[in-house]
Structures are given as structure tokens and as C-alpha cells.
């Protein structure tokens, strides 16, 4: 007999869209909810939508969302008798699961023992091999002294044969992973992977595996209860990745047929039964070109991409988690699982794809999610996107009868999405979905690296049209910053001169009014016909050379944020600016922080001499590390930051005084 574990109030130990997702299903089942938040998230949606909320610390995760003591205390203070960890942060932390157990709280997830068994990649791989699950050949700890030394690891890499993959044994999300093509690159890649693993997980240990080139990344969703039942819910294809972080996920996989699905599902179920697993979990596999699959790791939690499985099965996976955690048997058997249609999800991230995918933060001035898609997010217009957490700020999911229908719907929804004020990867995602290789179902983990040049940049013709439309929007919003009301339409007897920056260039325009709301514009030497068709708050309909289109916008002083033809534009109005002497650009020796972030490594000291391009310090933001290098050869004359310090974007952190440095 198994013991039920009923509960009534759930604390969600997470933030943003993750917490909101759990709140939605918990409420549907009649549970009360408690949110926790850092001071940076005090005005977030998940805080407002929970029944109760408790502040657990300062912005950095280590000072808030990773504080086990503060979360347990918040549960006790609010009378919560269960904890849902969400996905990320402490979701796969056995110490957290154990602390919940010790405090008499129901942990909505697997046991601490199961998390411990599968959370360490080396140990998990050995368990899977013992259970007969196919694994990638490689090297992991065997208990011998010095088995993590650089010399031993280099020797093992040579034995495995290049290319090899270095993987941190703890954590996930692609952190601490490096692909190494030759022995000459191994030492530097190992040091980098171990450093990132230490900073991210507090554990520098790594394993080595033979690199399977251009595989598919396939994961199997499983569920198990304490009554000995386990099922799988099919696969998800997560092959479209950048830096080992998933970008696009879909179900089912275009590379998996019914027979392969059954084999992979059978292996996954066998694996979780071998460790008496309970709750939701995901086994991740690499699928090679010949149809062979190899175990990579198990995620002992719900995945970010679970909505695509929900879309094709009709199941609520959070609801299943809650029922299993309460001690109920799974309400379905394997024979009850049915798949319908196709679903695709993309991860909207606050990052500048055209600027090296640099993480972004700041104020989301205008936000409007497309109603035709399932959009998981915690955003509203005016909210601050902080620099302390993962760069993913939303995920968009489309479901269709066929893969192509789902793909078209998702592209259209991405083009309708209005996200102004914080740079996102919106356009990059739409281009991934529209690329012929992805459209044909042929994308592997090499997809982005192979086709990156085609997935980035701006179409020149669209940019010219955006520059023309921007002239009309600038003129229309010049006085009140939003729009002119119907009784205050533009009336100019003389051409209105405008000067503004857009797309890396400065544009000059002259608008001449021909009639009510009709203009001709001379823009960069070309004549365009413009008409204001309709206006509403933050929305216009304009005609450009006879074609009527919608424009969304937000005006903040001299800055105009504009959404046009499926992408955002940032326009700087220079019309009234006083001409200023241009200062020197580049080569001044000042190293400025590329983003808001935390200093995790300082590689030089004041007085050191450096070469141009030499690494100086490393910043961490939104789960990524960014190395800053010397802009010129010379001597370090200012070191303005230290390890652990939080810095703002564009702050001068190091100065290099140029001088001849011996080669």
C-alpha cells in the first residue's frame, strides 16, 4: 500500500512565466498558491496573480531564488504544505527536495534520491548503462585519484578520438559544454568548461563523450507514479539549438516514425522504472543519421518545452504532476495516449541576434502577444526585464493539423508579436521557421551554425520602407508622444524637415502635405507617397505608395520604437538635436561593459601590459559568460571593477593606455 500525501496550498519556488504556468493549473484544481520573489521582481505578474507572495531576497539568484532556507521559511509563514519547483533554479536540486521533505512539505517532483541519481551526469550514465540503455562512448569518474586532472582528461580525449564533447556533470542548459575538434584546442576548452561549471553549479567536474556530429536532439517525456505505473508521452525534437541551448522545439519529430517512437519510449520507461522514479521527467537522446539513439541525460523536472506535448496529447502536464504528488495513480495508461496534429514552440529571448546574441535588459515599453498562439509569458507594457536571470522572456506555441500548418501559424504569430523597448530574437526565430531546411524537416543540431548568415541581418527593401513610414510616425507623434487626435491632424503648408537615425544610418526626409492626411515625402533622395489612414493609441494604419499596413509604436521623447512588417525598429529623432562635435570612436582604450552583468573573472591587474585582443575580464548575464578583450595594445592604467561586482551596461570597467608592446 502507498501513502497519499494530500496538500492544499502550493508555494511555487520560481518566477515569471514558469510560476504563472503552475498557478494556472493549480487554481483549476482548487489549490491556493504562494509566489516568492526577489526585490527585482516585486511588481511582476506572478507576484500579483498568486494568492499570497513573499519577498525572499535581493536580485541575484543566489540571494533569492536559490536560497533554500528563505523558500522553506516562506512556505511556513504562509501555511503552504507543498512546493512546486517549476523548471530551472532549484528544480533539480536534491538538497532542496530533501529540505522540503524534512520540513514536512510535499515536494511536487521526484524524490531526493532519484534527483541525486540522475542529476550527476557521470552517475546517471552508469545507471543507464546498467539498465541496458544505449549510451555514448566516453569517460567519467571511476573513483581513481587524479581522474579529473587536465593530463588524465587529455589522455582520455585522445583515447576516445576527436571530436569530443566536454560536459559538466552537474546542471544543464548547455552550461559547461564544449565541442573540441583537436588536441591543440583541448586544454583551453577544458579550462573554460570547468570555469563555467564552477560558476554555474559550484562543481567543476566534467565527463567526456565522443562527439556525434550533426545529430538530432530527441527527448522522451515520461510520467511515473508511486504505484509502479510509468508511461511515455512521445518525443520532442529540440535539434535547433545555439550554444547547446534550445531555440525551437516541436512534437512529434519529423525524424521519428512510429516504430522508432515505440522503441525510444520503451527504453525511457524501462529506465525510470529502474530507479523507482515518480513524477514528470525527460530522457534526452542523440539520434544519429543511421537511426541509432544514445542516452545523454535525464531532466528530473518538467521541461520548458512541455506545451508542445500538451498540444498534441490534450493533457495538462502540470495537473498530472499535482495528482501524482498527492499520491493518486496516473489517470491514463500507455494505451490511452493519443497524438493529434503537430506543435512547434519557439523561445523568445531578450538578446540581440544581430549583435552576437548579446543578452539585453531594460524596460519593455510596449508588449502585445498574438491572440492566435499560446504564449507563455510574464510581461506587460512598461515592465522591467532584469539582467539577473535567464534571457528567455516568453515562449510561443502553435498547433496545427500538419507540421506545415503549425509552422505557418507560428511564423504569422511571431510577425504579429509586438515587443518594443528590449531587443529580442523575434526576427531570428521567424527566419529559422521559414528557412527551407527547417521547413523540410531537415534541421539538426548544426542548423543554426551552418545557416547563421542567412538567419541574420535586415532586408534592404524593407528597411527603406520602414524609414519612409518612420517619417510619418515621427511627424504624427511629434507633440504628444503618442498620436495626434482626429481634430489635430497634421497641417503643414511648407515641407516639414526631419532627420533621424534608423538601421545604423541617418536619414533625411521632407514631408509635404497634399491634402487631409496625405503627403509626399522626399526621403534619402527618393519620393514616396504617404497617407495616414487611421490612428489609435500606439497604433496607426498608413498607406505607403498605395499599400495600407499597420504600425505599432511607442514614443519616448526623441526615441521612437516602431513595429512594422513583423519586426521592431528603434528610431532616434535628431530633428531638434543641437549639432555636436563628434568625439573619437574606437581605439580610445576604454573597455565598456557590453551588458548589465556580474564580473566573474578578472584576468589582469593594473600596470600589466597587454596585447590587442587579449582577454581582460569575464561578465556573466542571463546564464551566459562574455569575455571582454583589450581594444588596443598597451598598459592597464585603470581597473575599476572586482570579481563579484554587478556592473551596468556601457560602464567603463578597464582602461588601456596605448603604447608599443613587444610581440
**123 confidence band (pLDDT: 50, 70, 90):** confident
Classify each residue of 305-315 as buried b or exposed e, where b means 16 or more C-beta atoms within 10 Å of its C-beta: bbbbbbbbbeb
Please determine, for residue 2, whether its predicted confidence score (pLDDT) is greater than 60. Answer: yes
**Closest alpha carbon to 456 in 422, 420, 430, 418:** 430
Where b means 16+ CB within 10 Å and e means fewer, 212-225 reads beebbbbbbbbbbb
Give the fold, CATH level 3, of 137-210.
Dna Ligase; domain 1 (3.30.1490)
* Residue 640 burial (CB count, 10 A): 14
Helical pair 94-102 and 112-119, crossing angle rounded to 10 deg:
170
Kindly tell me if the per-residue pLDDT of 128 is higher than 90: no
How much of the chain, in percent, has pLDDT values that exceed 90?
A: 74
The pLDDT of residue 200 is 79
Of 247, 554, 175, nearest in space to 429 by CA: 247
Give backbone dihedrals phi and psi of 255, rounded to 5 degrees, phi first: -105, 0
Q: In CATH, which of 3.90.1200.10, 3.30.470.20, 3.60.15.10, 3.30.43.10 is domain 120-136+216-340? A: 3.30.470.20
State percent of the chain over pLDDT 70.
Answer: 93
Q: Are strands 392-400 and 342-349 parallel, antiparallel or unpaired?
A: antiparallel
Average pLDDT over residues 475-495: 58
**Residues classed as catalytic:** 301
Phi, psi of 154 (to 5 degrees): -65, -40
Whether pLDDT at 125 is above 90: no
CA distance 489 to 480: 12
pLDDT value of position 50: 98
> Average of pLDDT values for 339-366?
96
pLDDT tens-digit profile of 198-252? 887 788 999 999 998 889 999 999 999 999 999 999 999 999 999 889 999 999 9
Q: Which fold has domain 9-108?
A: Rossmann fold (3.40.50)
pLDDT at 126: 84
Residues β-bridged to residue 120 = none
- pLDDT at residue 566 in the model: 96
pLDDT tens digits for 228-240? Answer: 999 999 999 999 9
Residue of higher predicted confidence among 140 and 580? 140
Residue 594: pLDDT band (50, 70, 90) is confident
pLDDT at 612 over 70: yes
Query: Which of these CATH numbers, 3.20.20.70, 3.30.1330.10, 3.30.470.20, 3.40.50.11440, describes 342-453?
Result: 3.30.470.20
**Which of 277-281, 284-288, 625-629 comes out lowest in average pLDDT?**
625-629
At 291-305, the pLDDT tens digits run 999 998 899 999 999
* pLDDT at residue 583 in the model: 28
Same fold, 120-136+216-340 and 342-453: yes
Going by pLDDT thresholds of 50, 70 and 90, the confidence category of residue 21 is very high
Whether the per-residue pLDDT at 530 is higher than 90: the answer is yes
pLDDT on residue 142: 65
Total-model pTM:
0.85
What nine digits make up the cell of 19? 510560476
In CATH, the architecture of 461-573 is 2-Layer Sandwich (3.30)
pLDDT (tens digit per residue) in 381-440: 999 999 999 999 999 999 999 999 999 999 999 999 999 999 999 999 999 999 999 999
> Residue 489: is its pLDDT beyond 50?
no
- Please name the fold of domain 590-658: OB fold (Dihydrolipoamide Acetyltransferase, E2P) (2.40.50)
pLDDT mean across residues, the chain: 91
Average pLDDT value for residue range 23-27:
98
**For the chain, which residues make up each domain, given as ranges?**
9-108, 120-136+216-340, 137-210, 342-453, 461-573, 590-658
Distance CA 100, CA 107 (A): 6
Residue in the block written with cell 571593477: 641
Amino acid at each position: 500500500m502507498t501513502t497519499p500525501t494530500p496538500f492544499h496550498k502550493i508555494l511555487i519556488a520560481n518566477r515569471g512565466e514558469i510560476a504563472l504556468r503552475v498557478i494556472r493549473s493549480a487554481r483549476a484544481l482548487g489549490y491556493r498558491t504562494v509566489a516568492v520573489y526577489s526585490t527585482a521582481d516585486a511588481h511582476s505578474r506572478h507576484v500579483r496573480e498568486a494568492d499570497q507572495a513573499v519577498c525572499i531576497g535581493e536580485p541575484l539568484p543566489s540571494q533569492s531564488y536559490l536560497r533554500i532556507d528563505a523558500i522553506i521559511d516562506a512556505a511556513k509563514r504562509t501555511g503552504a504544505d507543498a512546493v512546486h519547483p517549476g523548471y530551472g533554479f532549484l528544480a533539480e536540486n536534491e538538497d532542496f527536495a530533501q529540505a522540503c521533505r524534512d520540513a514536512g512539505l510535499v515536494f511536487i517532483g521526484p524524490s531526493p534520491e532519484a534527483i541525486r541519481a540522475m542529476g550527476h551526469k557521470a552517475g546517471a550514465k552508469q545507471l543507464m548503462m546498467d539498465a541496458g540503455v544505449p549510451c555514448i562512448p566516453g569517460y567519467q569518474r571511476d573513483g581513481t585519484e587524479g581522474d579529473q586532472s587536465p593530463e588524465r582528461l587529455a589522455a582520455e580525449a585522445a583515447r576516445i578520438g576527436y571530436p569530443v564533447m566536454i560536459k559538466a556533470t552537474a546542471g544543464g542548459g548547455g552550461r559547461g559544454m564544449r565541442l573540441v575538434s583537436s588536441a591543440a584546442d583541448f586544454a583551453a576548452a577544458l579550462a573554460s568548461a570547468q570555469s563555467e561549471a564552477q560558476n554555474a553549479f559550484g562543481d567543476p567536474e566534467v565527463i567526456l563523450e565522443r562527439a556525434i556530429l550533426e545529430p538530432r536532439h530527441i527527448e522522451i517525456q515520461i510520467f511515473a507514479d508511486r504505484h509502479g505505473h510509468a508511461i511515455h508521452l512521445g518525443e520532442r525534437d529540440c535539434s535547433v539549438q545555439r550554444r547547446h541551448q534550445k531555440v525551437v522545439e516541436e512534437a512529434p519529430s519529423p525524424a521519428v516514425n512510429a516504430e522508432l517512437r515505440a522503441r525510444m519510449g520503451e527504453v525511457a520507461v524501462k529506465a525510470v522504472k529502474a530507479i523507482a522514479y515518480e513524477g514528470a521527467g525527460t530522457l534526452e537522446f542523440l539520434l544519429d543519421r543511421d537511426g541509432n539513439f544514445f542516452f545523454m541525460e535525464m531532466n528530473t523536472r518538467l521541461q520548458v518545452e512541455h506545451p508542445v506535448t500538451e498540444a498534441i496529447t490534450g493533457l495538462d502536464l502540470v495537473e498530472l504532476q499535482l495528482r501524482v504528488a498527492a499520491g493518486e495513480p496516473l489517470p491514463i495508461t500507455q494505451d490511452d495516449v493519443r497524438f493529434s496534429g503537430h506543435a512547434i514552440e519557439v523561445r523568445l529571448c531578450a538578446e540581440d541576434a544581430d549583435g552576437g546574441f548579446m543578452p539585453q535588459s531594460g524596460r519593455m515599453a510596449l508588449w502585445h502577444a498574438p491572440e492566435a498562439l499560446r504564449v507563455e509569458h510574464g510581461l506587460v507594457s512598461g515592465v522591467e526585464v532584469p539582467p539577473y536571470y535567464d534571457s528567455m522572456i516568453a515562449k510561443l506555441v502553435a498547433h496545427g493539423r500538419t507540421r506545415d500548418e503549425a509552422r505557418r501559424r507560428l511564423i504569422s504569430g511571431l510577425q504579429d508579436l509586438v515587443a518594443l523597448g528590449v531587443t529580442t530574437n523575434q526576427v531570428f526565430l521567424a527566419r529559422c521557421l521559414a528557412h527551407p531546411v527547417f521547413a523540410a524537416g531537415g534541421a539538426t543540431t548544426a542548423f543554426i551554425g551552418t545557416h547563421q548568415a542567412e538567419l541574420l541581418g535586415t532586408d534592404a527593401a524593407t528597411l527603406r520602407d520602414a524609414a519612409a513610414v518612420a517619417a510619418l510616425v515621427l511627424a504624427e507623434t511629434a507633440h504628444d508622444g503618442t498620436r495626434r487626435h482626429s481634430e489635430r491632424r497634421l497641417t503643414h503648408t511648407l515641407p516639414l524637415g526631419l532627420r533621424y537615425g534608423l538601421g545604423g544610418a541617418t536619414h533625411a526626409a521632407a514631408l509635404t502635405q497634399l491634402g487631409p492626411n496625405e503627403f509626399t515625402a522626399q526621403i534619402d533622395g527618393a519620393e514616396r507617397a504617404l497617407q495616414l489612414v487611421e490612428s489609435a493609441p500606439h497604433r496607426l494604419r498608413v498607406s505607403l505608395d498605395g499599400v495600407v499596413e499597420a504600425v505599432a509604436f511607442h514614443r519616448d521623447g526623441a526615441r521612437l520604437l516602431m513595429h512594422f512588417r513583423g519586426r521592431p525598429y528603434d528610431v532616434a529623432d535628431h530633428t531638434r538635436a543641437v549639432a555636436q562635435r563628434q568625439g573619437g570612436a574606437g581605439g580610445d582604450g576604454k573597455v565598456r561593459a557590453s551588458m548589465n552583468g556580474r564580473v566573474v573573472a578578472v584576468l589582469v591587474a593594473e600596470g600589466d601590459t597587454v596585447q590587442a585582443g587579449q582577454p581582460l575580464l569575464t561578465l556573466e548575464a542571463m546564464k551566459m559568460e562574455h569575455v571582454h578583450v583589450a581594444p588596443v595594445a598597451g598598459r592597464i592604467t585603470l581597473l575599476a571593477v572586482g570579481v563579484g561586482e554587478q556592473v551596468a551596461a556601457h560602464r567603463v570597467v578597464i582602461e588601456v593606455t596605448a603604447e608599443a608592446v613587444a610581440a
